[in-house]
Structure 1
Amino acid sequence: MERWTQDAACTEVDPELFFPVSALGPGAAQTQRAKEVCARCPVRAQCLGWALETRQRAGVWGGTDEKERATMLRRRATAGSAAS
């Protein structure tokens, strides 16, 4: 377990909130609620960094959903290949 997780706002919330079944309908509302928890989290940046580093494909991490993280990773890859 990463040390920063002890300070995470999500430790006081049901973990299932961060893993909606769908991105549509009730799942979209659930994702928004999870992101609201992340918005007040003191370790949001560490969480997002860890999720990107470990390529978390499911759930809300660091205030981002799967699609947002995938976009970030693609941009990193594009920037990295452009710098080479």
Structure 2
Amino acid sequence: MNPTSTRAISTPHIADWRTRGACLTRDPEFWFPKGSTSPGSIQAAEAKAICRTCPVAITCAAWAIEKRLQHGIYGGLDAPQRRSIARKETRRDLTHSGIVAEVRAAWASDERDPLVETYLSHSVQDIDGHVWWRGRKTSYPVAGRDLTPGQIAYELKHKRAASGHVTVTCDRFGCVAAEHLADGIDRWQRDHATAA
């Protein structure tokens, strides 16, 4: 939530809801995590957890969806989650109560995402942007599937399961920073782009 915004609010709730936000005690940059690797993911998860204890979280989320805000955490939702709800709103003409239901469903989905939990509990980011996996196992059970650390990181970043073997594209063997991983499709596209 951005409490310093002067834009008009058209949600049918508390007129000055922004003055009641749980975010007011934090640095505004906290609500804008950088990157999708371990520190950014952890910061986003922490921000969402604080939002979900906020007395005006639903109003904040609905406001951010309505305003089509493209960055940051608002009402416990990140930008992709808000875009998803906004698309549903456009397609189905959701009422305010429909938006509230979608926000609550997104919250519940976050709390149960086993990929996020596994990645956050087993990875650590180095100061140079590489991410290392803590643990010696070669695969981990996630929602009924056995996945390698690279597959877990890849799926989190690309929102799809990896096709074929996941390989490291940086010079650090064992790095699981999602930005430093490629699957079979990525390698095929890279090879064909180079050949063209």
Whether the TM-score (by the shorter chain) exceeds 0.5 is yes
Runs of at least 4 residues of structure 1 off by over 3 A? Answer: none
TM-score (norm 1): 0.87
Match among 35, 43, 54 for residue 30 of structure 1: 43
**Structure-2 separation of matches of 1:23 and 1:72:** 21
CA distance in 1, matches of 2:73, 2:28: 10
Higher relative contact order (CA 8 A, sep 6+): 1
TM-score (norm 2): 0.39
Deviations along 1:12-45, one digit per CA (max 9) or x if unpaired, are: 1111111011133210100001001101100001
Partner AA of 1:25 in structure 2 = S
Query: Residue 6 of structure 1 aligns with which residue?
Result: 19
Greater shift in the superposed pair: 1-10 or 26-35? 1-10
Q: Does 1:40 align with 2:53?
A: yes
SS state of the match for residue 70, structure 2? coil
State the percentage of identical aligned residues: 35
**SS of alignment partner, residue 63 of structure 1:** coil
Query: Does the CA contact (< 8 Å) of 2:66 and 2:86 recur in 1?
Result: no
Deviation at 1:47, TM superposition (A): 0.4
Aligned positions of 1:55-70 closer than 5 A: 55-70=68-83
Distance 1:50 1:39 in 2: 15
Q: Say which structure is richer in helix.
A: 1
Among 1, 8, 32, which residue is 1:19 paired with?
Answer: 32
The alignment status of 1:49 with 2:62, answered yes or no, reads yes
What is the alpha-carbon distance in structure 2 between the residues aligned to residue 37 and residue 25 of structure 1?
18
- Count residues with an aligned counterpart: 80
Cα distance in 2 between the residues matched to 1:29 and 1:70: 21
